[in-house]
Structure 1
Amino acid sequence: MLDGSQHIPGKSQRPLAAYLAPAWAQCWSLNPGSDTLLRAYSRVNLDPQTRRNSDRSNEGVTVTTTVRRLLAAAKEWHAVGADGHVVAGRVEYLDDQEIWQRIVNACNGERGPGFFCTVQGRAESLLWKRGYFGHEQEMRLLLIGRSWQQDRPSPKVRLVKIDPNALFTSISFDPRLQPFELNERIAEFREAGYTGEIVRDLNYQKVLSLLIMMRDWPDP
């Protein structure tokens, strides 16, 4: 809330949300592998009898890409009207007080809260995140509205058409899947037309290591 009652006659509390340019985002991670993120976005519950995933509708697929490919794909947003500006940026993980101070500085700066109406201001604010989420190592692809009318609601979702073979450098399936079901997923994707690299995620692969002892040791 913006409160000008102490210094500006007639200015009572007003919500900062009224000054926020509409924005849409895709969230990506620079973390090459995270069990925390895997479990947050993919559900695998193996049926004890069939060993199949009983929650396939919530099963995730990991995809990799590059910033250059993301920006190229984002050009399709303009096919439905050049009313937005595309920005790609890395999230800054900050203390709560630092985020608050940045908001205070912006609202009391030259543009006032209108700073958040601009492409730069809105994009910057969407790249500030609490340190609590630092494990995500997130970067965001943003579409910031250039102009809008407050009496017209903005769409909650902006779809962008992509060519998976052009956008993704590789894909991998949930490593908790059983080998037979993993092979089925690969066959389905190939049949659907995906020709890119499919990487087998071995992070859940059981490993038996043989340790060569150089000295005698007691029996258990």
Structure 2
Amino acid sequence: MQYVYILIALLISYLFGAVPYGFVIPKLFKGIDIREHGSKNVGATNVTRVLGKKYGIPVFFLDCLKGALPIIIVRYVLAGTPISDTLSHINSFDISILYGVAAGIGHIFSIFIGGKGGKAVATGVGAVLALNPIVGLLGIAIFFLVAFTTKYVSIGSVVATFLVGVGMWVTAIIEDNLLTQIVNLIGVSIMVSLIIFMHRKNFVRLYHGTENKIGQKKNQNIEK
């Protein structure tokens, strides 16, 4: 029965991650389909670029919550209960990150908007913060450093994502718990790979010099 419970929890995590806040908030408060504006992405970056920080910041935090909350519930809210151990471990392996990965997949391939979605950067941030707050916070700091140095959010996102993945592996090695954390580390690596893959169009635009820079204004006919 353990695997049945895990599969149910993964499905719930996917559905939670699939809620497209970057689509819902602009639609609810501004009456627009964000997929028709800016980069046409439903992530916080495009919402911020099109509608401003007033709408982009809430989307970012809600998307972070999608990755963090399933792990927080399993590891901390249910801590000490039989269901927590059932969901967070298979034998001696910690599998908590799998719920964050499921939420990330939900964000990228949302069943609620035709199987499409965002790039899962914020959702990945939330998942890592819930699993390892120090590495997560360092990742956020690296993002801001790289993004504001290069003026490209995409470069900051990709560099920070990659280094967070490296940081998770290094931390496990230093703490000598590589074996017990191997499922989590593989899960993080999958999420890192997905996030970087979802930036492939950004790489093309960077190569051609057409990628949007921080502070660059786009022509929009939307009243903020």
Q: Normalized per residue, which structure has more helix?
A: 2
- RCO higher in structure (CA 8 A, sep ≥6): 1
TM-score (norm 1): 0.25
Q: Normalized per residue, which structure has more strand?
A: 1
Rg comparison, structure with higher value: 1
